[in-house]
Amino acid sequence: MEHCEAKCGTAEQEKALEAVIEASRSTPGCLMHILQEAQGIYGYLPMPVQKKIAEGLGISLSEVYGVVTFYAQFSLKPKGKNRISVCLGTACYVKGSDKILAEVEKELGIKCGECTEDGLFSIDSCRCVGACGLAPVMMIGDEVYGKLTPDKVKGILDSYKEASK
Amino acid sequence: MTVKELDAIRAKKQQLIDVRRLVREQAEEMAKHTGYRKQVLVCGGTGCTSSHSKQVIEHLEKTLAECNINDVLVVKTGCFGLCTLGPIMIVYPEGAFYAQMTPEHVETVVRKHLIPGGEIVKELLYQDTVHPDGSITPFAETPFYKKQMRIALRNCGVIAAEDIEEAIAAGDYAAIEKVLTSMTPDDVISEVLASGLRGRGGAGFPTGRKWSFAKASAGDVKYVCCNADEGDPGAFMDRSVLEGDPHCVLEAMTIAGYAIGAHQGYIYVRAEYPIAVERLKIAIAQARQYGLLGKNILGLGFDFDIDIRLGAGAFVCGEETALMTSIEGHRGEPRPRPPFPAVKGLFEKPTILNNVETWANINPIIMKGAKWYSSIGTEKSKGTKVFALGGKINNVGLVEVPMGTTLRDIIYEIGGGIPNGKAFKAAQTGGPSGGCIPADLIDTPIDFDNLVAIGSMMGSGGLIVLDEDSCMVDISKFYLEFTADESCGKCTPCRIGTRRLLDLLTKITEGKGTPEDLDKIEALAQHMKSSSLCALGQSAPNPVLSTLAKFRKEYEDHIYNHHCTAGVCKALLNFSIDKEKCIGCGMCAKNCPASAITRTDYIAPGHKLASFQIDPAKCVKCGVCMGNCKFKAVERK
């Protein structure tokens, strides 16, 4: 397991996490909810955060870790400021979304599941955002880009690069 | 809230909704009584939101204010179904159906149509509603809508999705009123049983039977769950119901709670559906506020409440026992059955789980009766089914048709056929658990049993159309990648089986397959079907088996001839340049990422420059040269 900081982020983040644990601990089956909130606070789920949740709920770290690694949405690694998610659902796939993903990877020089060095972008694939009418689609943050072709990718990514300057 | 107050709300808003449902002349008459000269409905579902319907609404409101128009009601609804033409905007009482709206178009419509005395802007309408003689056809009469029958989607695209009063006026909560005032739990169950309703989530188990098992289970604490973990890629009907008419699900779950003796419900919904989650949260809060959830519903002495649980991206959680394990906060792994959930489900208590679309059918069954419902559909599949049409089809979107409608009607009439004049090859139904239906079975009436008989299944209703450019081996491989990735790993047949099947398919798509591989696939598939713990593993081989049964030649072509007819499997493709057609412009060589293209010394008759050639050893088969050649000199074989 990789090296982790002992502290749980900033004091504010830690306080927010404690509040979430306190508010939900008596609800049956609250672990998933707490992890979702924690990921919202930290952007990912580093080991100290998982430890804190385990202690807060009085369950073992292995149980928490087991749940985190089971679900695709929980991440052990930090994500980019702009999270790109290329849909590889069937409707998008038959319309060539694999070529969109390849173009995004080529343009950013990283592979699916990775984050650019400057932390600006990370790429993931997802299975259907339900916007099949616009296939092939990708999401950047909450924004959906539809009816894509590989040649549209660069312009979209450039607009994000521009915005971050 | 009391029954009387509920009736009062319904009466208050009834006419507003009627304007959207009546034919034009009656609607125009009705509109005079509503206080609104016109109503503009804009789709706020995921599809249209993704094509910027939010900006359309903002611009609409802004322009209306600029023009001092204040007798036009703007309503943000759920999905109209025709997602490919989004953002969609419908103006009532005329029923003018505007498609692919932009802020500029909105401006035009406001200034030319919505102003007093304005007229419909024909050139911005959905063109199927404009007759060649210039008259306007009601959109319900267009090929896309004509053969549809909307039961589950009855209120989607009709009501404001975030307004409980519009939902009530459209008929939601009338069934819970009827149930609590005049029916016993047994009456409810026998009505649902008699309707013949079968679960719309995939397996098609009779809903009434599920409920009667749970009612028969002893215990004070029972649960009602809603499966909104719509994991089948390409299916989005559950999302549309939640976005367009969330109250119909809350009401149906309450009815089931009354029928089986439960007081708590859970909706397990995908976190990938942010709009649906938001609308559900609003709907639950409103229902509690109006006394339609919580203690003493409608003052009639029944308590029921509902909470939301968010999924976190695991396909297996659509399986009922895995879903319950996930609600309990654990890894979403399935449990062996028996005991079935109706006996021992969520938190080890008797539980029923139904899918969103199933819930959406309950209100009409209670209100119009089992006899009416069972008159629709086929002998063993009653009612309607919602399909998410996707892939290589013109009208991508959501359609609801009576069970027994043929695939031909869905694809060619409603779906508008295949784009770019390509040939239909197959329809994939049932997602990763289903199979492919070839062209010669296109006249099969679609219902639960017929689909199984032809080697596919209903699944949740994803219907992906494939054309001649789709390779069936590649499609199987795509689904196996999915199931291998999503297998939870608890049982060996699924964990190892999906991986090995994927390996075999990869081998074939790379041109390294042997004839024995096909036998191995079939043997392995049978083992997986008979010994996997849950439906994920049991059905994971279906895409391979069905394509192998119907498109065996394509597999053999890959194996014996190292050839992929559809031109999809890269390893089997060979690019070459026709030296007679090549004019020697060099666009191919300039853009080749592998520097595999060089000039020859041959000049074709009539051309001035020497032609180019591709070095197969260097070629990475990306196809860039083909896209760049304006003279069609690059060939793919």
Q: What angle do CA B75, B399, B160 make, to 5 degrees?
A: 15
Token pair belonging to B598: 């060089």
- Tell me what pLDDT residue B248 has: 98
Note whether A98 and A157 are same-domain residues.
yes
* Cβ atoms B354, B226 nearer than 8 A: yes
User: Does residue A1 belong to any structural domain of this protein?
Assistant: no
A→B interface, C-beta within 8 Å? 28-33, 35-36, 63, 66-67, 70-74, 88-91, 93-95, 126-135, 137, 142, 144, 146
Amino acid found at B355: N
Residue A75 covered by a domain = no
Q: Across the interface, which of B51, B272, B462 has its CB nearest the CB of A129?
A: B272
How many domains does chain A divide into?
Answer: 2
- Find the helix or strand (DSSP H, E) in which B308 lies: strand B302-310
The tens digit of pLDDT for each residue in B513-555 reads 999 999 999 999 999 999 999 999 999 999 999 999 999 999 9
Q: Give me the pLDDT at residue B637, please.
A: 77
Domain boundary among A70, A104, A120: A70
Is A54 among the domain residues? yes
Which residues of chain B does A130 touch, with a Cβ-Cβ cutoff of 8 Å?
46-47, 230, 236, 239, 272-273
Mean pLDDT rounded to a whole number for chain B:
95
Dihedrals φ, ψ of B481, to 5°?
Answer: -60, -40
Q: Which residues of A touch B233 (CB under 8 A)?
A: 88-91, 93, 127-128
Q: State the pLDDT confidence band at B468, using cuts at 50, 70 and 90.
A: very high
A160/A104 same-domain check: yes
The residue among B567, B621, B609, B557 whose CA lies nearest residue B585 is B609
Residues A66 and A89 occupy one common structural domain: no
Instruction: Answer yes or no: do A53 and A114 share one domain.
Output: no
In the DSSP assignment, the letter for residue B441 is: G
What DSSP string describes B382-410? BSEEEEEEEES-SS-EEEEEETT-BHHII
**Per-residue model confidence (pLDDT) at position B202:** 82
Judged by CB atoms closer than 8 Å, whether chains meet at B312 and A73 is answered as yes
Residue A138 domain-assigned (yes or no): yes
Q: Tell me, what amino acid is at A151?
A: D
Residue A6 lies in a domain: no
Q: Judge if A31 and A94 occupy the same domain.
A: no
User: What is the phi-psi region of residue B615: left when phi exceeds 0, alpha when psi lies from -120 to 50, beta otherwise?
Assistant: beta
Res B628: pLDDT = 87
Average pLDDT over residues A11-24: 95
Q: What is the pLDDT of residues B160-184, one digit of tens each?
A: 999 999 999 999 999 999 999 999 9
Same domain, A158 and A89: yes
Whether residue B107 contacts residue B101, with contact meaning beta carbons closer than 8 Å, is answered with: no
Closest by CA position to B101, among listed B128, B73, B124, B81: B124
**Exposure string for B98-122, b = 16+ CB within 10 A, e = fewer:** bbebeeebbbbbbeebbbeeeebbe
Determine the distance in angstroms separating the CA of B259 from the nearest CA of chain A, rounded to an integer. 25
DSSP state of B413: I
**Phi–psi pair at B389, nearest 5 degrees:** -80, 125
Do residues A87 and A156 share a domain? yes
pLDDT digits (tens, 9 = 90+) for B220-270: 999 999 999 998 888 999 999 999 999 999 999 999 999 999 999 999 999
Q: Contact, B536 vs B502, CB < 8 A? A: no
Q: What is the spatial distance between Cα B548 and Cα B436, in angstroms, rounded to a whole number?
A: 10
Alpha helices (H) in A61-149, listed in sequence order: 61-70, 90-93, 97-108
Question: By the 8 A CB rule, do B517 and B559 touch?
Answer: yes
- Least confident range of A102-106, B223-227, B345-349, B457-461: B457-461
Torsion of CA B545, B546, B548, B554, to 10 degrees: -150
The answer to whether residue A77 is domain-embedded is: no
pLDDT for the residue numbered A5:
47
Cβ(B302)–Cβ(B244) under 8 Å? Answer: no
| Mean pLDDT (whole number) for A7-20 | 90
Judge if the upstream peptide bond of residue B132 is cis by omega within 30 degrees of 0: no
CB atoms within 10 A of CB B444: 17
Mutation site, A67, A79, A103, A132, interface B, largest B CB count within 10 A: A132
In sequence order, the β-bridge partners of residue B402 are: B384
Those residues whose C-beta lies under 8 Å from the C-beta of residue B184, and which sit 6 or more positions away, are none
Three-point CA angle B234, B539, B561, nearest 5°: 80
The predicted pLDDT at position B279 comes to 97
Confidence of residue A145 (pLDDT cuts 50, 70, 90): very high
By three-state DSSP, how is residue B106 classified? Answer: helix
Q: How far is CA B204 from the centre of its chain?
A: 17
Residues 6+ apart with CB under 8 A from B504: B513, B517, B520, B521, B524
Interface touch A134/B50, C-beta < 8 Å = yes
A103 and A139 co-located in one domain: yes
Q: Residue B206, Cα to own-chain centre: how many angstroms?
A: 21
Q: Which residues of A127-144 are buried (b: 16+ CB within 10 A; e: fewer)?
A: bbbbbbbbbbbbbbeeeb
Flag whether A5 is in a domain: no
- Which pLDDT band holds residue B15 (cuts at 50, 70, 90)? very high
What is chain A's alpha carbon radius of gyration, rounded to the nearest angstrom?
18
DSSP state of B130: B
> pTM of the predicted model, to two decimals?
0.93
A51 Cα to chain B: minimum distance (Å): 16
The single residue listed with the structure tokens 């291998």 is B484
Residue whose C-alpha is closest to residue B53's, from B105, B104, B89: B89
Q: State the number of CA atoms in the 13 A half-sphere of B333 facing the CB.
A: 16
Q: Which of A126, A132, A146 sits opposite B51 (nearest CB)?
A: A146
Round to whole Å and give the CA distance between B552 and B547.
7
CB B466 within 8 A of CB B390: no
Contact A91, A135 (CB under 8 A): yes
CATH number, domain at A103? 3.40.30.10
Of B326, B388, B466, the CB nearest to A32: B326
For B211, half-sphere exposure in the C-beta direction (CA atoms, 13 angstrom radius) is 32
Quote the pLDDT of residue B39: 97
Structure tokens belonging to residue B122: 């024909």
Q: Which helix (H) or strand (E) holds B40?
A: strand B38-43
Contact B428 A91 (CB under 8 A): no
Q: Closest chain B residue to A87 measured between Cα atoms?
A: B233
Mean pLDDT of A52-68: 96
Q: Which residues pair with A145 in a beta bridge?
A: A138
pLDDT at residue A6 above 80?
no
Query: Which regions of chain A does DSSP assign to beta strands (E)?
Result: 82-87, 121-126, 138-140, 143-145
Residue A7: predicted pLDDT = 67
| pLDDT tens readout for residues B195-206 | 999 999 888 999
| Residues A159 and A91 placed together within one structural domain of the fold | yes
Of A90, A63, A85, A58, give the one whose Cα is nearest residue B481.
A90
CA distance A109 to chain B (A): 15
Q: How far apart are CA B417 and CA B626, in angstroms?
A: 27
- A131 and A110 together in one domain: yes
Helices (H), ranges, B245-319: 246-260, 274-289
Strands B424-429 and B462-467: antiparallel
Classify the C-alpha dihedral B136-B138-B141-B145 as positive or negative: positive
A134 plus A60 within the same structural domain:
no
Quick: pLDDT tens for B391-409. 999 999 999 999 999 999 9
> How many angstroms separate the CA of residue A118 from the nearest CA in chain B?
26
Q: Is residue A17 part of a domain?
A: yes
**pLDDT tens digits for range B610-624:** 999 999 889 988 888
Asked if residue A87 and residue A60 are part of one domain, the reply reads no
Confidence (pLDDT) at A2: 40
Name the residue range of residue A117's domain. Answer: 82-164
CA quadruple B175, B177, B182, B183: dihedral, nearest 10: 50
- Count of CB atoms situated within 10 Å of the CB of B182: 8
